[in-house]
Amino acid sequence: MGPLVLTQLATGLSVLAGAALVKSLMDQRPMMGPTQFPRCPSCSGTGRVACLCNRWSDGDAGCRTCAGSGRMACSSCGGTGSGRPIPVQISVRRSNGPS
């Protein structure tokens, strides 16, 4: 084996070892921190809700929104299954006091 093959083999093994290490750390400590958003209360964390076509359906296979599954993306969480903060811009005006 030439030095190039050995270098590539060592690089590949180190990438696999790194991936195994990261996976074991993720299994031990699930991401639960300040960046983890709570489950969406509308869809219970699934990201999908019953499609509107089910309300008026006459037994057919669904609509374009749900692609025939009868479930569409949750409008509260956008299909992510977790709550997401709503960006708000707050403007404060200074009052100039009584004139």
pLDDT (tens digit, 9 = 90+) per residue, 1-45? 678 888 888 888 888 888 877 777 667 665 555 556 788 888 988
Q: Evaluate if residue 89 carries a pLDDT over 80.
A: yes
Question: What domain range is 24 assigned to?
Answer: 1-30
Indicate whether 92 belongs to any domain.
Answer: no
If asked whether residues 41 and 78 sit together in one domain, one would say yes
Place of tokens 């300040």: 34
Indicate whether 63 belongs to any domain.
Answer: yes
**pTM, to two decimals:** 0.45
User: How many domains does the chain fold into?
Assistant: 2
Place of tokens 């599954």: 69
At residue 57 the predicted structure's pLDDT band, cuts being 50, 70 and 90, is low
Indicate whether 88 belongs to any domain.
Answer: no
What gap in Å lies between CA 76 and CA 80, rounded to an integer?
A: 9
Structure tokens that stand for 93 in this block: 């005006």
Half-sphere exposure of 35 (CA within 13 A, CB side): 2
Indicate whether 59 belongs to any domain.
Answer: yes
Q: Evaluate if residue 83 carries a pLDDT over 80.
A: no
If asked whether residues 26 and 41 sit together in one domain, one would say no
Indicate whether 94 belongs to any domain.
Answer: no
If asked whether residues 7 and 23 sit together in one domain, one would say yes
